[in-house]
Chain A
Amino acid sequence: MSALYGYRGFATVVDLTTGEYRRDPIPQQALRSTIGGIGLGTWLLHRYGSPPVDHDGDLLSDDNRKQLLDAALEPANPLIFVTSPLVGTRLTTSSKFAVMTRSPLTGFIADGLSSSHLAVELKRACGDALVITGRSQYAALLHIDADGVPRITPAAHLMGLSTMDTESAVKQELDDGSRRPVRVACIGPAGENLVRFASIANDGGRQAGRCGPGAVMGSKHLKAIAVRGNPESDPPIADPMALRAYARDLSRRSLGAATAKYRELGTIANVSVFNRLGTLPTRNFQQSTFEGAEAVSGEALHQTRATRSAHCANCTIGCEKIVTVGTKDTGANGAREVSARLEYESLFALGPLVGVGDPDAVIRAVRRCDELGLDTISAGGVIAWAIETAERGLLGNPQVADDDGSAGRSLNFGDGAAVIDLLDDIGHRRGPLGNLLAEGSRLAAERVAGGSESWAMQVKGLEMPGYEPRSLKTLALGLATTPRGACHNRTSAYDADFSPEVDRLAVDDQRGKIAADSEDFAAALDSLIWCKFLRRAFSDFWEDSAAVYRMVTGWEDFDADELRRAAAHIADLKKAYNQRWGWRRSDDTLPGRTLNEPLADGVAAGVGLTSAELDAMIADYYRARGWSAEGRVDLAVIAL
């Protein structure tokens, strides 16, 4: 076996049930064909998370969907943290890692990404991946220090703490005076209470948010993970001089026009644009414009609020905008600043989607989600569903509990205070309504019925992001087909819609190829792992990335074509994983509202998307992928 550059070549596997651990080698061919991050993570999910019966197709029926979702919360479901060959280099935005598991919200692949110092320490302490299986007998902290030996210690004293307080407490406990602190991943009350869209937080509030990895972590009775590796464990780089020169050049380009929006205003700049283009989902996707959009727009917040930028470790862009709304009395500790990391998806979901136009209320709601460890998109989505369902009289007379536990207010769009109270109810599974919504909008709608399934705005169980698919037809296809569910990050199909390349309001036979290509692009980004906001800073993404990969790994015959093949292979592997867990053709669809109701307002008023139009695009997509007409991939890809 040749020397290994860029990778550690093994995964640390910890069984929380027995307390045992081992280091499993990862074959070089697997590393090369799946790169790292989400690609390697998918390969590892196949390896460690096989279904109980390796059966292609008949696993899922309407009768046993709930059982399969619940099985994601059983000890056998692995929770996997995966780094990449670029982690530990000086390349801008490369300090990222993937969090992989089977989602208790969708039943399918959950492939999250997060960033910052934790990525570097994971690679030093655990290798290319940390695989966690089993379930601790008690609330636990998993600590892996420079010797690479996992230690499982009681964490009952941490239970109930917010994500921020948990991270602070763990860092304080493990502080040994070293200049290098431990880095922490943890869950909040939502993860402890198995809320199906609970997130995992790290490095001061960054989140692996979507699909409920925090619930899986909670199901293992694992409150926090603390890692601190040995810098001498960093794997060698094949051509460090060339990589250093490229890193300098890329950092310079990362400060150019291609990232100006993200650096200066952040993604919250989307609000005013999306509103004007009729693609800002409002009041549970009943409208595509919001009369209060200007007040919560990025431009307005930039001018009226104290805002500062936050950078992930080793990042030159600094897309996150931390917005302050005031102070909070914390008793003996005095007043503490109340601020939130604000980005478009959180702002949309807890603002226009629930009809809230008060910036302070939105910021406080985002902050509350981060404290509880809740995915903001799903939280806003399920609350929007609940408000509409209540307004239609299908929820009886739901009462949101006030902070003091007394019966509170009814549900209405635009009531920011009620949204915050309801977030608390969901995060603690408090009361019938909080407990119902903690299940996510698909299960909640199935339980309530009465037609509410059609306005549960989710795909495969995952709540929709802040892009209106009826006025973004290419993205509509991406949302319907992406293995993760309704996710804008695993497909960048909206790039075509926001360009002269296509008519975003119409469908045609080119969208299948565009959606497949954009998904491959995202797979490459997410596996190397580059931040998506860097994507236009490359002169040629595929050539540049292949060159970087050669510099890091020393695999001199790796070229752009092989990187493209790897990206397509990763897409196949993801689909194969879902097939093994019962994926059916009917899972690739969009919510009833999207397919049955034309847009009611905005520049695209009257525009809709029919089932026939979506089916035609899906058929084109399957053809572009080389899958069967029913959308199935040959499971032999798993062995490749």
Chain B
Amino acid sequence: MASDRAAFLTQMVEVLTSTVSFGERLNNMVHLLARHLKVDLALYFALDKTKETLFLNISSQGPIPPHMRVEFPLGQGVVGETAVTRKVRVVHRLQPEALSANAPLEKLHPNFHTLAAFPVADDNFLYGVLVLLDKQDRTFGAAERQSMQLAGLMLAGTLRQAIVQEEAKKRIAELSVLFEVGKALSATVELDELLERIVSTTAKVITARGAALEIIDRATGETRVSSRYGQIPAVCPALKEMFPRPAKTTGPPHFETQSVDADGRTHYCLAVPLTFKGQLQGTLCVYDKFSPNEVYLPFDPENRQLLITMAGLIVNAIENALTFQQVEDLAERNERMVQNLTVLQEISQVLLTTVQEERLLEMILQGLTLEQGLGFDRGVVLMVDEASQTLTGAKGAERAAQPSQAALPAALLSPLPQEVPVADWQIPLRPDQGALALAVLKKRPYHYQEHLKEPGLPAVLPGKLAAREFFVVPLIVKDRATGVILVDNQASGRPLESEPLNVLNMFASQAALVLENAHLYSTIEANNRELLLIRERMLESDRLAALSSLASGMAHEIRNPLVSIGGFARRISKLVEETSPLRGYVEVIQEEVTRLEKLLREILDFTGENLSYYGDHDLVKLIEDTLVLVQRDLDAANIKVVKEFAPLPRLHCDHRQIKQVFYNLFSNACQAMPHGGTLTIRTYPLEKEDGLYEAITVTDTGGGIPMEVLHNIFNPFFSTKDYGTGLGLAIAQRIVSRHYGQIEVNNEMGKGVTFLITLPVAKYCLVKDAGQNAVPASALKAPKGGRR
């Protein structure tokens, strides 16, 4: 017997340590027990996963057909009781109370007489119950019971090992799947590529026929990006319907459904939410578990668990990719910004190198159109004309066909490649005059797009500047719009993006500032020039006054002796006989004295003889009268006279003196044009700050006054003529200033000279009995575009 037992033990160890699978080993054990204990049937009941039922797992009679399910709830029947008591139990048919609950066993072994059950358990766990059935009424000795217990223990150990091994295997499989997933996820940070990898890897590790992934926009809940792999059955619900959106903090951990397609085929889908920090970020879904034959399988709980685990990994990877993309976008934007700012800084540095408006405009247009600058196809600067309340074209340019390769500062200084003529472009500053006028009035930029057809925002561009799309930004200095910059990409048709508008705005504020500076500078310069001129004129008139007072002093001193000399010579001539040679001598004295006296009169008394000549006169008539006096000279020199007379009020003046002025001017003109020319005489009313003036211009075509002579023309002792006293213009000036007027000269070298005489009307003239050509002073207004 002992050798029997030893053989059994040896066989048992051999079976349990064999290299076949655990199922096989279990099967062999069941057969071994049946043989060893010489029973008709050995059965193994395994504890199921619920740990509440024991079901028939192995039979010594061969495989159990699938339809045959024999089970005992824990604690019921001999099998159930053994599982609870964990003790060997042997019953006989003679003990009906023990058999009543064992009815299912009858099916397997009808009319058995002896039943032995013993637990397969170790100290901690119960794995199942072994049942031995025999049609004989028999007993089991102590040795046999020991064998049973030993077999139970050893089987338990083996099963435990099997479970541990199974779990370890599963863990390893799971880990390797996760490792695969991890590898796929960390291979890239590009979002699109990442999503592709995720769906393909997920489908592979789950062995699904298809997979899909969707990332939603956190703000709107709308789909942001999605990716698909393999076969995705159309009958399955859409991803966005699987989990409530917008994201809720708590949702179901997974979504599982099956749908039947038109061919009657059932499709399965399993989805998990991708949540980050408790918020739904998207959905990952797999479709139809793969099987070698064309059958679609549902997913098992392990697949589900794996998918949930993967979702955790995936969402982190996606989050990383999204963050990376954001950082990249930000970096790109920053880089562009830095680049733009560098360009702006370089341009503004160059802009600071000049205060000449014209040069600045060129540089600004270069900055706008150069590829190295802001890179627009075309740019135009328009400035506000405060007086007429219009926007007026200042300068425009187009991008060069052959772009300059020079670095920015140098390129800015190069001449404009292609100017766009805009000088005749004027836009009234009214809200109905389009985007450019609005940019000034509202002091804000506009992005005009033809296709938008914004009401109240017509383009209003001249034909040659027409554009489907353009930016217009105001030039603002101290909260005042001084002009606009207009740019477009009409030539190349590139769309205008919104980002350059910001850069353009910054550029415009720089441009506005430098243009304003230039404007102020030129105003100051003009003022300085005028001051200098006034100072020179004052100095000149001082010098003139000093000179003439010296001359007049001397002339007066000479006049008295001349009167005596001449007077006495006349007396002598009366006393001398006509035949006396003395008579001739005395007459010479008389004549010479008369000549000298005439000269003195010209110097001192050119103003005529009598006050009664002051009166209200028609200036045009005075001009006509004077023209008669010089008609012969005009004809002789073949000079054409052009008269442009506007009606004027009567002027209170000494008509003889005023005629003298015209006479002098006309005579000078004749002398300047000995070989013919045109004498243009214009009269017009002129509104000045201090009242109404009558203006007369006398223009010749005599080639102008040489520069070295120009500043001397009002000097009483200066003359370019070989005859005369040179007093012509000095006298004219003196007469005009006596009438509280001004005489100015505008010299155009190579062309001719224009004298402008302005005589005040309102203050000194009483407008009465206005004649044919005279109108009341109050009815007159300065003509538009009148000279300053």
A and B assemble together: no
Q: Point out residues on A near B: beta carbons under 8 Å.
A: none
